[in-house]
Amino acid sequence: MQERTDIQVSRMVLSAQQHLMDSSKSESTPSSSLSSDSMHTGQVKQNIQALWTALILLSIFFCVELSAGIWSHSLSLLADAEHILSDVAALGLALIAAWLSQSISQKTIFGRYRLEIVAALINGISLACIACWIVKEALVRLQSPTTEILGVPMLATALIGVGVNSFNAFYLHKCSHHDLNIKGALLHLIADLASSVGAVLAAIAIIWLNWTWADGVISLVVAMLIACFAAYLLIQSVQCLRGQIVDIGELACMCPPESQDCQERQQAEKLLFPTLEELVQ
């Protein structure tokens, strides 16, 4: 009789424990979803703040460098100023993409993901165009190096550019993990930093060695570096759009449980494997 009572008590305890475990699982699902949403919102706000900071600093420095480039007749400064202008546009585009991704709910994660990739793709195309323009201007300068270049204002402006771009690149690097949109903006800033370093080297060669051709050569080197950054970003963006990097099942796991149906999977396939007509549209 005592053994039967002990067995019944044990069954009751096990039943109560199982009930508590089931309750904790059911309660943890919405809380984890809310936690994920709040973490994403906080990350997006941090990205927007970093983009705004870089955008304001670059806009101010663009005016300074453009004026100094015209005054000193330096192709390196003018090329870097042209690059910074594209950076301002690229950062604005990244800022819009980050803001739109904040307004999109977790249920449309596929649309948010694709929006960030498209923004990064446009950044890569703009980098490639800038590299081509710098190569063209550098070749013209090397063929006719008759323009007198003022090395001192060129050096001072380039050093300021190194400081501004280093700060912006460090600030954005903290937000660039797992975000191709921010990574595209970061690559713009790294290429800009390389342009500023190249301008410093060219200014030193002009001031102490009177090598005016160094301005054109450094511009060509910087253009090649920018082209490498552009190629990397374009390849990553196209591969993501074609679904070769991110798996559909991985993205499906990021969606809330109620979206795990056939319709959502069809939407994922359409977004990650678009046809040529859809990409053109």
Query: Is residue 28, in this structure, part of any structural domain at all?
Result: no
Rounded mean pLDDT of 142-165?
86
Q: What is the largest CA-CA distance in the chain?
A: 111
* Pairwise CA distance, residues 69 & 19, whole Å: 73
Quick check: is 8 in a domain? no
For residues 21 and 186, what is the distance between their CA atoms, to the nearest angstrom?
45
Amino acid sitting at position 113: Y
Distance separating alpha carbons of residues 64 and 58, to the nearest angstrom = 10
The pLDDT assigned to 84 comes to 84
Return mean pLDDT, the chain: 71
**pLDDT of the residue at 110:** 53
Per-residue confidence at 162, pLDDT binned at 50, 70, 90?
very high
Q: Is residue 142 over pLDDT 90?
A: no
Here the tokens at position 273 are: 């494997």
Q: What is residue 94's predicted lDDT score, i.e. its pLDDT?
A: 72
pLDDT in tens, 17-47: 454 454 444 444 444 444 444 544 556 677 7
| Residue 49 counted as domain residue | yes
Q: Per the domain annotation, does 206 fall within a domain?
A: yes
Residue 70 falls inside a structural domain: yes
Does residue 9 fall inside a structural domain? Answer: no
What CATH number did the domain enclosing 229 receive? 1.20.1510.10
Give the model confidence (pLDDT) of 55-65 as tens digits: 899 899 999 99
Residue 216 has pLDDT above 90, yes or no: no
In a domain, 2, yes or no: no
Number of C-beta neighbours around residue 174 at 10 A: 12
- The most confident of the ranges 28-32, 89-93, 106-110, 222-226 is 222-226
Domain interval for residue 139: 44-249
> How many structural domains is the chain composed of?
1
* 261 vs 70 pLDDT, higher one: 70
Q: Quick one: pLDDT at residue 60?
A: 93
pLDDT surpasses 60 at 267? no
Q: Which residue has the higher pLDDT, 200 or 44?
A: 200
Other Cβ atoms closer than 10 A to 28: 11
